[in-house]
Amino acid sequence: MKLAAMGNRKQQCSWINTDSNAELVSMIDDLRRFCCILPMILTPFAIAHPHEVQPVTPINNMIEYDHSYTPQELIEQFRDDDIRGNLISAQGALLTHPDLEPKHLYNALNHEDWQVRQVVCQIIWNFSQAQRVFIQNPAEGHLWTGGKWETIEADPRFVVTEDLIRITIEGLRDDTTPFDTERHRGLVYFNASFGVGKLIPIAREWKHFLVDALESEDAQQQFLAAYILARAGIHERVERISQILLPHLRDNDIPEDAKFAVFALGGMGPELLPYLTESLVTADHQQKDLIQLLIVNIMDPPLTETEIESRAQYNTITSCVHDPASQQSPSYWSWLSDL
Protein backbone atom coordinates (compact mmCIF):
# COMPACT_ATOMS: atom_id res chain seq x y z
CA MET A 1 0.00 0.00 0.00
CA LYS A 2 1.31 3.46 -0.84
CA LEU A 3 2.77 5.69 1.87
CA ALA A 4 1.15 8.68 0.18
CA ALA A 5 -2.38 9.69 -0.65
CA MET A 6 -3.68 12.87 0.90
CA GLY A 7 -2.39 15.66 3.12
CA ASN A 8 -1.97 16.00 6.88
CA ARG A 9 -5.13 17.88 7.73
CA LYS A 10 -6.36 18.22 11.28
CA GLN A 11 -8.63 15.26 11.86
CA GLN A 12 -12.02 16.36 13.17
CA CYS A 13 -13.42 13.63 15.38
CA SER A 14 -13.88 15.28 18.76
CA TRP A 15 -17.27 13.57 19.02
CA ILE A 16 -15.52 10.23 19.64
CA ASN A 17 -15.45 9.10 23.24
CA THR A 18 -11.77 8.38 23.90
CA ASP A 19 -12.70 6.02 26.73
CA SER A 20 -14.03 3.61 24.11
CA ASN A 21 -10.74 3.40 22.22
CA ALA A 22 -10.14 -0.26 23.07
CA GLU A 23 -13.69 -1.14 22.06
CA LEU A 24 -13.33 0.73 18.77
CA VAL A 25 -10.06 -1.03 17.92
CA SER A 26 -11.70 -4.36 18.79
CA MET A 27 -14.62 -3.58 16.48
CA ILE A 28 -12.24 -2.71 13.64
CA ASP A 29 -10.31 -5.94 14.20
CA ASP A 30 -13.54 -7.97 14.18
CA LEU A 31 -14.63 -6.31 10.94
CA ARG A 32 -11.28 -7.04 9.30
CA ARG A 33 -11.40 -10.65 10.44
CA PHE A 34 -14.86 -11.02 8.93
CA CYS A 35 -13.64 -9.45 5.69
CA CYS A 36 -10.86 -12.03 5.64
CA ILE A 37 -13.31 -14.93 5.66
CA LEU A 38 -15.65 -13.50 3.04
CA PRO A 39 -13.45 -14.68 0.15
CA MET A 40 -13.53 -18.20 1.62
CA ILE A 41 -17.31 -18.05 1.54
CA LEU A 42 -17.50 -16.61 -1.97
CA THR A 43 -14.66 -18.56 -3.61
CA PRO A 44 -16.72 -21.71 -4.36
CA PHE A 45 -18.97 -19.61 -6.56
CA ALA A 46 -16.14 -17.96 -8.52
CA ILE A 47 -15.44 -18.81 -12.14
CA ALA A 48 -12.99 -21.69 -12.37
CA HIS A 49 -9.75 -21.40 -14.30
CA PRO A 50 -9.04 -24.44 -16.53
CA HIS A 51 -5.59 -24.96 -14.93
CA GLU A 52 -6.62 -24.16 -11.39
CA VAL A 53 -6.45 -26.54 -8.47
CA GLN A 54 -10.00 -26.82 -7.17
CA PRO A 55 -9.78 -27.81 -3.50
CA VAL A 56 -13.20 -26.44 -2.51
CA THR A 57 -16.67 -27.75 -3.33
CA PRO A 58 -19.93 -26.21 -2.02
CA ILE A 59 -22.34 -28.81 -0.62
CA ASN A 60 -25.72 -27.71 0.73
CA ASN A 61 -24.39 -24.24 1.64
CA MET A 62 -21.49 -25.84 3.53
CA ILE A 63 -17.89 -25.88 2.32
CA GLU A 64 -16.06 -29.19 1.91
CA TYR A 65 -12.33 -29.11 1.26
CA ASP A 66 -10.61 -31.57 -1.04
CA HIS A 67 -7.57 -32.99 0.76
CA SER A 68 -6.34 -35.12 -2.13
CA TYR A 69 -3.60 -32.54 -2.69
CA THR A 70 -0.53 -32.59 -0.46
CA PRO A 71 0.25 -29.63 1.81
CA GLN A 72 3.18 -28.75 -0.45
CA GLU A 73 0.93 -28.70 -3.53
CA LEU A 74 -1.56 -26.46 -1.78
CA ILE A 75 1.17 -24.03 -0.69
CA GLU A 76 2.26 -23.76 -4.34
CA GLN A 77 -1.19 -22.32 -5.05
CA PHE A 78 -0.24 -19.31 -2.89
CA ARG A 79 1.96 -18.02 -5.73
CA ASP A 80 1.44 -14.55 -7.20
CA ASP A 81 -0.39 -15.61 -10.37
CA ASP A 82 -3.46 -14.56 -12.32
CA ILE A 83 -5.66 -17.50 -11.31
CA ARG A 84 -8.82 -16.34 -9.63
CA GLY A 85 -9.53 -17.62 -6.13
CA ASN A 86 -6.95 -20.38 -5.95
CA LEU A 87 -5.01 -18.89 -3.02
CA ILE A 88 -8.00 -18.60 -0.71
CA SER A 89 -9.35 -22.01 -1.70
CA ALA A 90 -5.96 -23.63 -1.20
CA GLN A 91 -5.50 -21.93 2.15
CA GLY A 92 -8.79 -23.33 3.43
CA ALA A 93 -7.81 -26.81 2.30
CA LEU A 94 -4.33 -26.46 3.81
CA LEU A 95 -5.50 -25.27 7.23
CA THR A 96 -7.84 -28.27 7.54
CA HIS A 97 -5.43 -30.79 6.01
CA PRO A 98 -4.81 -33.83 8.25
CA ASP A 99 -1.18 -34.11 7.07
CA LEU A 100 -0.20 -30.48 7.65
CA GLU A 101 2.95 -30.16 9.76
CA PRO A 102 4.86 -27.06 10.92
CA LYS A 103 7.80 -27.96 8.64
CA HIS A 104 5.62 -27.45 5.55
CA LEU A 105 5.03 -23.84 6.51
CA TYR A 106 8.47 -23.02 7.93
CA ASN A 107 10.16 -24.38 4.79
CA ALA A 108 7.92 -22.15 2.67
CA LEU A 109 9.29 -19.03 4.40
CA ASN A 110 12.25 -19.47 2.05
CA HIS A 111 10.09 -19.92 -1.04
CA GLU A 112 11.18 -18.06 -4.17
CA ASP A 113 7.76 -16.41 -4.56
CA TRP A 114 7.17 -13.31 -2.46
CA GLN A 115 3.42 -13.88 -2.07
CA VAL A 116 3.92 -17.45 -0.84
CA ARG A 117 6.30 -16.17 1.84
CA GLN A 118 3.91 -13.46 3.00
CA VAL A 119 0.84 -15.71 3.22
CA VAL A 120 2.72 -18.48 5.01
CA CYS A 121 4.18 -15.92 7.41
CA GLN A 122 0.73 -14.83 8.55
CA ILE A 123 -0.47 -18.42 8.87
CA ILE A 124 2.46 -19.26 11.17
CA TRP A 125 1.84 -16.19 13.31
CA ASN A 126 -1.83 -17.11 13.63
CA PHE A 127 -0.95 -20.64 14.72
CA SER A 128 1.63 -19.38 17.21
CA GLN A 129 -0.71 -17.09 19.13
CA ALA A 130 -4.23 -17.39 20.50
CA GLN A 131 -6.67 -15.73 18.12
CA ARG A 132 -10.33 -14.97 17.68
CA VAL A 133 -11.85 -16.52 14.57
CA PHE A 134 -15.31 -16.55 13.04
CA ILE A 135 -16.62 -20.10 12.89
CA GLN A 136 -19.21 -20.33 10.14
CA ASN A 137 -22.16 -22.69 10.50
CA PRO A 138 -24.83 -21.88 7.90
CA ALA A 139 -26.94 -24.75 9.24
CA GLU A 140 -27.74 -22.50 12.21
CA GLY A 141 -28.99 -19.65 10.08
CA HIS A 142 -28.38 -17.48 7.06
CA LEU A 143 -25.09 -17.85 5.19
CA TRP A 144 -23.89 -14.46 6.49
CA THR A 145 -25.10 -14.77 10.08
CA GLY A 146 -24.79 -18.48 10.90
CA GLY A 147 -21.71 -18.64 13.08
CA LYS A 148 -19.91 -17.11 16.03
CA TRP A 149 -16.56 -15.76 17.20
CA GLU A 150 -14.45 -18.23 19.13
CA THR A 151 -10.95 -18.17 20.64
CA ILE A 152 -8.48 -20.73 19.33
CA GLU A 153 -5.52 -21.37 21.59
CA ALA A 154 -1.94 -21.12 20.34
CA ASP A 155 -0.31 -24.23 18.87
CA PRO A 156 2.97 -24.81 20.80
CA ARG A 157 4.56 -26.38 17.72
CA PHE A 158 4.72 -22.95 16.10
CA VAL A 159 7.35 -20.58 17.50
CA VAL A 160 8.98 -17.33 16.43
CA THR A 161 12.13 -17.91 14.36
CA GLU A 162 14.62 -15.72 12.54
CA ASP A 163 13.04 -16.62 9.21
CA LEU A 164 9.61 -15.62 10.50
CA ILE A 165 10.91 -12.24 11.70
CA ARG A 166 12.76 -11.69 8.43
CA ILE A 167 9.64 -12.29 6.32
CA THR A 168 7.48 -10.23 8.70
CA ILE A 169 9.82 -7.27 8.23
CA GLU A 170 9.84 -7.93 4.48
CA GLY A 171 6.07 -7.40 4.61
CA LEU A 172 6.53 -3.84 5.91
CA ARG A 173 7.51 -2.79 2.40
CA ASP A 174 5.33 -0.73 0.05
CA ASP A 175 3.99 -3.68 -1.96
CA THR A 176 0.79 -4.59 -3.79
CA THR A 177 -0.83 -6.22 -0.76
CA PRO A 178 -3.68 -5.89 -0.03
CA PHE A 179 -4.69 -3.89 -3.11
CA ASP A 180 -3.01 -4.24 -6.50
CA THR A 181 -4.32 -1.18 -8.31
CA GLU A 182 -2.45 -1.93 -11.54
CA ARG A 183 -3.87 -5.45 -11.89
CA HIS A 184 -7.25 -4.52 -10.37
CA ARG A 185 -7.29 -7.23 -7.74
CA GLY A 186 -7.23 -7.52 -3.97
CA LEU A 187 -5.99 -9.88 -1.29
CA VAL A 188 -7.05 -10.17 2.32
CA TYR A 189 -3.50 -9.93 3.66
CA PHE A 190 -2.74 -6.56 5.28
CA ASN A 191 0.87 -7.59 5.78
CA ALA A 192 2.39 -4.26 6.89
CA SER A 193 -0.18 -3.47 9.58
CA PHE A 194 -0.16 -7.12 10.63
CA GLY A 195 3.63 -7.02 10.96
CA VAL A 196 3.66 -3.83 13.02
CA GLY A 197 1.27 -5.35 15.54
CA LYS A 198 3.37 -8.50 15.85
CA LEU A 199 6.77 -6.80 16.00
CA ILE A 200 6.25 -4.05 18.59
CA PRO A 201 5.91 -6.44 21.58
CA ILE A 202 9.05 -8.40 20.61
CA ALA A 203 11.09 -5.62 19.00
CA ARG A 204 13.82 -5.59 21.65
CA GLU A 205 14.58 -9.26 21.16
CA TRP A 206 14.84 -8.89 17.37
CA LYS A 207 16.01 -5.28 17.15
CA HIS A 208 19.02 -6.03 14.92
CA PHE A 209 16.65 -6.97 12.08
CA LEU A 210 14.67 -3.75 12.56
CA VAL A 211 17.84 -1.64 12.79
CA ASP A 212 18.93 -3.06 9.45
CA ALA A 213 15.53 -2.05 7.99
CA LEU A 214 16.25 1.57 8.94
CA GLU A 215 18.58 1.63 5.94
CA SER A 216 16.03 0.12 3.54
CA GLU A 217 15.61 1.71 0.13
CA ASP A 218 11.84 1.29 0.64
CA ALA A 219 10.40 4.41 2.31
CA GLN A 220 7.45 2.63 3.92
CA GLN A 221 9.59 -0.16 5.38
CA GLN A 222 12.07 2.41 6.67
CA PHE A 223 9.32 4.49 8.28
CA LEU A 224 7.58 1.52 9.90
CA ALA A 225 10.86 0.07 11.21
CA ALA A 226 11.66 3.42 12.86
CA TYR A 227 8.13 3.62 14.21
CA ILE A 228 8.31 0.11 15.72
CA LEU A 229 11.68 0.78 17.38
CA ALA A 230 10.48 4.07 18.82
CA ARG A 231 7.21 2.58 20.06
CA ALA A 232 9.15 -0.26 21.67
CA GLY A 233 11.32 2.25 23.56
CA ILE A 234 14.56 1.21 21.85
CA HIS A 235 16.73 4.32 21.92
CA GLU A 236 20.11 3.01 20.80
CA ARG A 237 19.57 4.41 17.30
CA VAL A 238 17.82 7.60 18.35
CA GLU A 239 19.70 9.72 15.78
CA ARG A 240 18.71 7.53 12.83
CA ILE A 241 15.14 7.12 14.11
CA SER A 242 14.78 10.89 14.48
CA GLN A 243 16.17 11.42 10.96
CA ILE A 244 13.41 9.21 9.60
CA LEU A 245 10.44 10.22 11.77
CA LEU A 246 10.94 13.97 12.31
CA PRO A 247 10.39 14.92 8.63
CA HIS A 248 7.01 13.17 8.83
CA LEU A 249 5.82 15.81 11.28
CA ARG A 250 5.62 18.22 8.34
CA ASP A 251 2.41 19.08 6.52
CA ASN A 252 2.79 16.82 3.48
CA ASP A 253 0.81 14.53 1.17
CA ILE A 254 1.10 11.40 3.31
CA PRO A 255 -2.08 10.55 5.25
CA GLU A 256 -1.76 10.56 9.04
CA ASP A 257 2.00 10.05 9.11
CA ALA A 258 2.46 13.01 11.48
CA LYS A 259 0.07 11.39 13.96
CA PHE A 260 2.04 8.16 13.91
CA ALA A 261 5.44 9.85 14.02
CA VAL A 262 4.67 12.20 16.93
CA PHE A 263 3.17 9.40 19.04
CA ALA A 264 6.23 7.20 18.47
CA LEU A 265 8.67 10.03 19.16
CA GLY A 266 6.72 10.96 22.28
CA GLY A 267 8.03 7.89 24.07
CA MET A 268 11.72 8.36 23.31
CA GLY A 269 12.75 10.65 26.18
CA PRO A 270 15.52 13.23 26.72
CA GLU A 271 17.86 11.58 24.19
CA LEU A 272 15.66 13.11 21.50
CA LEU A 273 16.05 16.76 22.60
CA PRO A 274 19.15 17.69 20.52
CA TYR A 275 17.49 16.44 17.33
CA LEU A 276 14.27 18.28 18.11
CA THR A 277 15.97 21.64 18.64
CA GLU A 278 18.04 21.16 15.49
CA SER A 279 14.92 20.47 13.41
CA LEU A 280 13.20 23.63 14.63
CA VAL A 281 15.48 25.72 12.40
CA THR A 282 13.87 24.50 9.16
CA ALA A 283 10.47 23.39 10.49
CA ASP A 284 7.21 24.33 8.80
CA HIS A 285 4.27 25.48 10.93
CA GLN A 286 2.90 22.00 11.65
CA GLN A 287 6.30 20.49 12.37
CA LYS A 288 7.21 23.41 14.63
CA ASP A 289 4.08 23.00 16.74
CA LEU A 290 4.61 19.25 17.11
CA ILE A 291 8.30 19.62 17.97
CA GLN A 292 7.38 22.16 20.64
CA LEU A 293 4.81 19.69 21.97
CA LEU A 294 7.47 16.98 22.19
CA ILE A 295 9.94 19.30 23.92
CA VAL A 296 7.36 20.44 26.48
CA ASN A 297 6.35 16.84 27.18
CA ILE A 298 9.95 15.72 27.66
CA MET A 299 10.83 18.64 29.93
CA ASP A 300 7.55 18.59 31.84
CA PRO A 301 5.58 15.35 31.32
CA PRO A 302 1.81 15.90 31.68
CA LEU A 303 0.54 14.08 34.76
CA THR A 304 -2.98 15.46 35.21
CA GLU A 305 -5.96 15.84 32.90
CA THR A 306 -5.59 19.62 33.08
CA GLU A 307 -1.94 19.41 31.98
CA ILE A 308 -2.87 17.11 29.11
CA GLU A 309 -5.61 19.51 27.99
CA SER A 310 -3.13 22.38 28.02
CA ARG A 311 -1.07 20.61 25.35
CA ALA A 312 -3.86 21.18 22.81
CA GLN A 313 -2.30 24.56 21.98
CA TYR A 314 0.50 22.69 20.17
CA ASN A 315 -1.79 20.15 18.49
CA THR A 316 -2.56 20.97 14.85
CA ILE A 317 -3.24 17.47 13.52
CA THR A 318 -6.20 15.97 15.39
CA SER A 319 -9.23 16.88 17.48
CA CYS A 320 -9.56 13.32 18.76
CA VAL A 321 -7.12 13.88 21.64
CA HIS A 322 -5.47 16.87 23.27
CA ASP A 323 -1.92 15.55 23.22
CA PRO A 324 -1.12 13.27 20.22
CA ALA A 325 2.44 12.79 21.51
CA SER A 326 1.25 10.98 24.64
CA GLN A 327 -2.32 9.94 23.80
CA GLN A 328 -3.28 7.36 21.22
CA SER A 329 -6.04 8.65 18.99
CA PRO A 330 -9.22 6.55 18.71
CA SER A 331 -8.76 6.58 14.93
CA TYR A 332 -5.09 5.70 15.35
CA TRP A 333 -5.19 2.59 13.13
CA SER A 334 -7.29 4.07 10.30
CA TRP A 335 -4.29 4.54 7.99
CA LEU A 336 -2.02 1.75 9.17
CA SER A 337 -4.82 -0.83 9.04
CA ASP A 338 -4.96 -0.46 5.25
CA LEU A 339 -1.29 -1.34 4.67
How many other CB atoms are there within 10 angstroms of residue 319's CB atom?
15
Assess whether 122 and 223 both reside in one domain: no
β-bridge partners, 72:
none
35 sits in which H/E element: helix 21-42
- Residue-wise pLDDT tens digits, 228-244: 999 999 988 999 999 99
Reply yes or no on whether the pLDDT at 217 is more than 50: yes
By C-alpha distance, which of 118, 112, 151 is closest to 133? 151
Q: Is residue 333 within 8 Å of 255, Cβ to Cβ?
A: no
| CB burial string 16-27: b at 16+ within 10 A, e below | eeeeebeebbee
Q: What is the pLDDT of residue 34?
A: 41
Residues 6 or more apart whose Cβ sits within 8 Å of residue 195: 168, 169, 171, 172, 224
Q: Quick check: is 177 in a domain?
A: no
Q: Please check whether residues 198 and 339 belong to one and the same domain.
A: yes
Q: Tell me how many domains the chain contains.
A: 2
Q: Is residue 96 included in any domain, yes or no?
A: yes
DSSP string, 150-163: EEE---TT----HH
- Quick one: pLDDT at residue 83? 76
Position 130 scores a pLDDT of 87
Does pLDDT of 321 surpass 60? yes
Same domain, 17 and 56: no
Q: Is 85 left (phi over 0), alpha (psi -120 to 50) or beta?
A: left
- Of 124, 139, 170, the one marking the end of a domain is 170
Is residue 63 assigned to a domain? yes
One domain for residues 303 and 159: no
- Out of 170, 203, 218, a domain closes at 170
Question: Does 114 map to a domain?
Answer: yes
Which pLDDT belongs to residue 148? Answer: 77
Q: 146 and 86: one domain? A: yes
pLDDT higher than threshold 70 for residue 20: no
Q: What pLDDT, in 10s, does the model give residues 127-178?
A: 999 888 777 665 655 555 567 788 889 999 999 999 999 999 999 998 766 5
Model confidence at 211, pLDDT cuts 50, 70, 90, reads very high
Specify the pLDDT at position 81. Answer: 79
Contact between residue 298 and residue 270 where contact means Cβ atoms under 8 Å apart: yes
pLDDT in tens, 242-277: 999 999 999 988 888 999 999 999 999 999 999 999
pTM to 2 decimals?
Answer: 0.79
Distance, CA of 40 to CA of 138 (rounded, Å): 13
Q: Does pLDDT of 336 surpass 70? A: no
Q: Say if residue 19 is in the same domain as residue 121.
A: no
Supply the pLDDT for residue 15. Answer: 30
What would the pLDDT profile of 85-115 be if each residue is shown by its tens digit?
A: 788 888 889 999 999 999 999 999 999 999 9
307 and 240 in a common domain: yes
Is 249 in contact with 291 (CB distance < 8 Å)?
yes
Question: Do 332 and 209 reside in the same domain of the chain?
Answer: yes
- Tens digits of per-residue pLDDT, 25-39? 444 444 444 444 444
Residues 144 and 239 in one domain: no
Q: Looking at 120, 138, 170, which one is the last position of a domain?
A: 170
Residue 56, pLDDT above cutoff 60? no
Q: Are residues 200 and 338 in the same domain?
A: yes
Q: How far apart are CA 56 and CA 77, in angstroms?
A: 13
Residues 204 and 102 grouped into a single domain = no
Residue 33 included in any domain: no
Residues 146 and 212 occupy one common structural domain:
no
Tell me the per-residue pLDDT of 269-312, one tens digit each, with 9 for 90 and over: 999 999 999 999 999 999 999 999 999 999 999 999 999 999 99
Residue 36 lies in a domain: no
Has residue 181 been placed in a domain? no
Residue 160: predicted pLDDT: 97
Q: Is 311 within a domain?
A: yes
**Full residue range of the structural domain in which residue 283 is found:** 1-24+190-339
